[in-house]
Amino acid sequence: FQGIFVLGLPYALLHSGYSGLFLVILAAALCCYTGKILITCLYEENEDGQLVRVRDTYEDIANACCKNLSPKLGGIVVNVTQVMELIMTCILYLVVSGNLLSHSFPYVPMTEKTWSVIAFVTLLPCVFIKTLKIVSKLSQLCSLVHFIIILVVMTYCLTQIHQWSWAKFRLSIEFEDFLVSVGVIIFSYTSQIFLPTLEGNMKNPGEFRCMLNWTHFFACVLKTTFALTAFLTWGEETKEVITDNLPSFLQTLVNLCLLTKALLSYPLPFFAATEIVYACISRGNHSNYRSPLFALGARGSFLLLTLLMAMFIPHFALLMGLAGSVTGAAMTFLLPSLFHLKLKWKKLSFLEKCADICVFILGFLCSLAGIVCSIKGLLEAFG
C-alpha cells in the first residue's frame, strides 16, 4: 500500500483540498471492502454449512461467474487485465529508475534510457525467482526503504512547522484536477490482484480479514499524516512528486532511496505476471511447457519485454494512465463487486447488495473519468 503513489498524495491534496482528506479515508474503506468480498468469492458452504475454499485464483472466480456464457471467458478477461496492469507496473519501475539515476548523477553524460538499461541489468536475477517467499523478503526490504524516505521527508517538514497554515487548503476545486487527485488516492491502495495468492499462502487464512482491516487502517493513518505534513509545509508550491520540493542536499539521498525502492518493488508484479502467463501456457499435457528451462525462458522474455516497452513507447505515462484507468478500476472495484453479486446473490442482505452496486457504480465513474482525462492528455501530446 505504501508505494511510489504515496509521494504524489500531497500534490493530490493541493488539488482536492479538504475533500482529499475524506477521500484518503473513503478509499481505504472501499478497497478494504472489495478485498474482503473478493476473498469471500473463493469459498462456498459444504453440506455441513462449513466454508470450503473451492477456488484458488481471481481467474477461478471469473470462470465460475461466466460458466453459463463460456467456461473460460471470465478467466481470459481477468488474466489479460491482470497481466496488462502488472506489465505497466513493471515498466513504470524501469522508467522511474532511469529517471532517478539521471537526476542523481546529472554530470554523467548518459540518457535516461541508458540508465534504464543499467537498472535492467540489476534486475536480471529476477528470472531465477520461483517462490513467493523470496519476493516477500525483497518486499520487506522495500518497505524498510520506503519508511526511511517517509521519515526523511516528514522530519524535514516538522522542522518547518512554524510555517504551517491551514489557510493553504482550498475550499473550491477544479473538476479535472479533482479527478486526477481521485485517481492518485484510490490507486495508491490497490492490491486486489495479489490477495487470492496472499490469502492462499497464509499460515492461518482465518486471520485474513483482520490483517486486511489493520493494514488498511495503518496505511490510511500513514498516508493522511504524510500528505498533510508535506502539504502544510509547501502549500501552493507542492510538486507532483514531493521529494522534488526537498533541498538539494536531501534530494540526492532520497532519490537513491527511491531508486532502491523501485528496484526492490519490481519482483512482486514481475513474479505475479509471469506466474499467470506461465500457468496459462503450461496447461495441458505438453511436458515441454512444464520444464524448468521453458519457465526460465518465459521469465527472461517477459523481463526483456518490459525493458523494450519502457525504452521505445512514446508518452508512456499517458498510455499507462489510460490503461490504469481501465485495468485498475476493473480489478479494484468493478469485478470484485460484480463477482460477489453474481456468486452470493441469494445469501446477501439488501444492504450488502446496495453496497456492492454502489461500489460498482463508483468504480465505473472513476474509470470513465480517468479514460477521458488520459485521452485528452494524449490528444494534446500528439497535437
Q: Give the model's pLDDT for residue 322.
A: 67
Beta bridge partners of 45: 51
DSSP string spanning 152-221? Answer: HHHHHHHHTGGG--GGGS-SS--HHHHHHHHHHHHHTS--GGGHHHHHHH-S-GGGHHHHHHHHHHHHHH
- Mean pLDDT per block of 10 residues along the chain (383 residues) reads 74 83 90 94 87 88 86 83 84 84 84 88 89 85 88 91 81 71 77 85 91 94 91 87 84 87 89 82 58 80 88 67 72 90 92 95 83 76 70
Classify domain 5-382 at the CATH topology level.
Answer: Amino acid/polyamine transporter I (1.20.1740)
C-alpha cell at 253: 539521498
- How many angstroms separate the CA atoms of 86 and 272, rounded? 8
Q: Give the model's pLDDT for residue 319.
A: 64
Residue with cell 502544510: 232
DSSP string spanning 71-121? Answer: TTHHHHHHHHHHHHHHHHHHHHHHHHHHHHHHHH-TTS---HHHHHHHHHH
Rounded (10°) CA dihedral 79, 30, 359, 375: -60
What's the angle, vertex CA 84, arms to CA 368 and CA 261, rounded to 5? 100
Q: What is the pTM of this model?
A: 0.82
Q: At what angle do helices 73-104 and 292-312 cross, to 10 degrees?
A: 60
C-alpha cell at 266: 519490481
Per-domain boundaries in the chain: 5-382
Q: Give the model's pLDDT for residue 181.
A: 77
Amino acid in the structure at residue 242: I
